[in-house]
Amino acid sequence: MKKSIRERLQLGPILCDGAIGTLLDLYEYPELPHEIQNIKNPDIIERIHHEYIDAGSEIIKTNTFSANRIRLSQFHLEEQIKEINLKGVEIACKVAKEKNVYVAASIGPTGMMLEPIGKLKKEIARNCFKEQIEILVSQKVDLLMFETFVSVSELDEAIFAAKELGVDIPIVAQKAFAEDASILSGNFPIEVFEHLLSLGVDVVGANCTVGPQRMYSIIKNVYKDGIILSAQPSAGIPTLLNGRSIYHATPEYLSQYAKELVESGVTLIGACCGSTPKHIKEMKKAIDDIIVSKIKIIEKEKPKQEKIVLQTNSKKSNFANKIGKKFITTVELDIPRGLDMNSVISGAKFLHNIGIDAVNITDGARARLRMNAVALSYKIQSEVGIETITHQTARDRNLIGIQSELLGAELLGIKNILCITGDPTQIGDYPQSQSVFDTDSIGLIRALRSMNEGYDLSGNTLGTKTNFLICAAANPTSQNFEYEVERVAKKIEYGAEVIFTQPIYEIKAIEKFVESTRQFKIPIIIGILPLQSYKHADFLHNEIPGMKISESIRNKIKQSSIPSQTGIEISKEIIKEIKNIVDGIYIMPPFKKYYIVEQLLEAIE
């Protein structure tokens, strides 16, 4: 009779299995999700379990890694969640009983990002994990194995879900670390493991993403008495061949590091993506070569865990320092197509000469192809000397691209960033292009604040702190005003330092917004867009999302003998009325008519 898994973990190294998905692809069962094979082809899953056990595995994982409701819904399989998970456990338990080995219930992340970076609420993620865990532990599994979690916050939710269900079997919590030697050899892994242990899990470790050498970098300085560690590296870094990931680490190479990992304190050892029973067989040989009863953890000189003091990379922008000390004026420049930016430079020079504090540079507004906002901002600041408010959208870049762009902005001295979710590509120049939307404007704000604290969104140190002014957008005339105020509150909670609004034409709307956000004590800069004609006003009101122009104002423009001048006078009256209750104005002169700005400035005097 086999010992309980907790007893077994105390006796020394235990070998887990390798990848299931890799073998399904190899055996020509590439359909996704791989978990569907539990139902369609249970024999192949059973065969894979047998092969890993024959290679030396004492623990086999259920084929349920992606079988949570959120991931299954991507394949319209969410209604089969119970069937897929139960069948996965049934197959593994049947084989394990025959071979007298242990079964780990495999649970992976949702595949979505949690708020505030993504849109998935923590409560929904936790309930998603609860549902899957409840199904899995209803069967005779020996342990829960959370694996390949990139986000520590999401891993927390999975652990909380298990704890709330009162799960009384061991929990293995494994994070996937980035392929970055400087991060892996630093204190970050130690901090993660200590955090996970504080939540009451039995085993902490790492799996996937990195190969055996990088995995060794994670583990080698982590071991402490009383801690049970796990390590399940991938078989190196893959290359793509005909759409399939091909891994290159040999069984012998993986086994070499398996031995070193065990000597560094790892108890639960296995392998992840790209591994096969051949890899596990060689790892078994390497572990058996160590005299288990006399395993001595090789003591290595651990780096001193000195507290990292991050220095700020640069000063706040001059624009940021002006806020609260004067009535701010910014103007949006009209960005043409192509490469000729002479009109933009000329406009910036004119605005700089009349004393405008900064110019706004849009980022592919209305999903139109325009020059990169950071590059153009740098050109304007360098050639003209006026600061920019550089817009950044979440539409076109994933989280890697977004953060890369922001680091580049810091390097170039672009300090003022206005965070925008962005218009969908369907309305723009390339409607067939895919919108990315890895995150939204709130996620962008969180990324900027994280960088200002010296870290990227994964918690990896940048070495120094950035010093961005974090600007957010708001629409005071939104049809759902309460929701808009809630969004403003969230933006402020996650780091927004100043609010820029959509163009507004009603004093009461501005007063209502100012009053509703007064509790947040955040500077507000009101959008001003002078109307040029009745047709212009009618278009903005009826065809531009978020724009609202009353019938009385539209009629006033319609009845005017000089509509453009009437539009300017309306804007001037708004500025006069609000200049004592807001912190500035954001002017959007239509059709490159920058001379209008000079007339509007008269209203401030």
CATH code at 152? 3.20.20.330
- Same domain for 156 and 22: yes
Please give the pLDDT value at position 307.
Answer: 53
Residue 550 lies in a domain: no
**List of long-range contacts for 89-93, beta carbons under 8 Å, 24+ apart:** 89/62, 89/64, 89/136, 89/139, 89/141, 90/139, 91/38, 91/42, 91/45, 91/46, 91/49, 91/62, 91/63, 92/49, 92/60, 92/61, 92/62, 92/63, 92/141, 93/139, 93/140, 93/141
What is the enclosing helix (H) or strand (E) of 524? strand 524-528
Q: Could you write out the three-class secondary structure of 493-509?
A: HCCCCEEEEEECCCHHH
In contact, 310 and 568? CB cutoff 8 Å: no
Please give the pLDDT value at position 605.
Answer: 80
- Same domain for 334 and 281: no
Residue spans of alpha helices (H) in 276-364: 277-288, 318-322, 342-353
Residue 312 lies in a domain: no
Residue 407 lies in a domain: yes
Residue 451 lies in a domain: yes
Q: Residue 520 has which token pair?
A: 């947040």
Q: Judging by DSSP bridges, how do beta strands 266-269 and 14-15 pair with one another?
A: parallel
- Same domain for 358 and 289: no
pTM assigned to the model: 0.79
Residue 300 lies in a domain: no
* Exposure string over 253-263, b if 16+ CB within 10 A, otherwise e: bbbbbbbbbbb
CB neighbour class for 24 (10 Å; exposed up to 12, middle 13-18, buried from 19): buried
What is the mean pLDDT for each group of 10 consecutive residues in the chain (605 residues)? 90 95 93 96 98 97 98 97 98 95 98 89 97 95 96 96 95 86 63 93 93 88 85 83 73 93 94 95 90 49 54 86 96 95 96 98 90 97 97 92 96 97 85 87 95 89 93 93 94 96 94 95 96 93 86 93 95 95 96 94 91
Residue 466 lies in a domain: yes
Residue 151 identity (one-letter amino acid): S
- Same domain for 354 and 264: no
- Same domain for 421 and 331: yes
Q: What is the number of domains present in the chain?
A: 2
- Same domain for 396 and 280: no
Instruction: Give me the half-sphere count of Cα atoms (radius 13 Å) on the Cβ side of residue 236.
Output: 15
Residue 549 lies in a domain: no
Structural domain boundaries enclosing 196: 5-294
Residue 592 lies in a domain: yes
Whichever domain contains 470, its CATH number is: 3.20.20.220
- Same domain for 225 and 118: yes
- The total number of residues shown for the chain amounts to 605
Please give the pLDDT value at position 544.
Answer: 82
Last residue of a domain, one of 246, 278, 294: 294
- Same domain for 358 and 221: no
Please give the pLDDT value at position 223.
Answer: 80
Name 500's bridge partners: 473, 525
What is the enclosing helix (H) or strand (E) of 239? strand 239-241
In contact, 429 and 364? CB cutoff 8 Å: no
Please give the pLDDT value at position 309.
Answer: 62
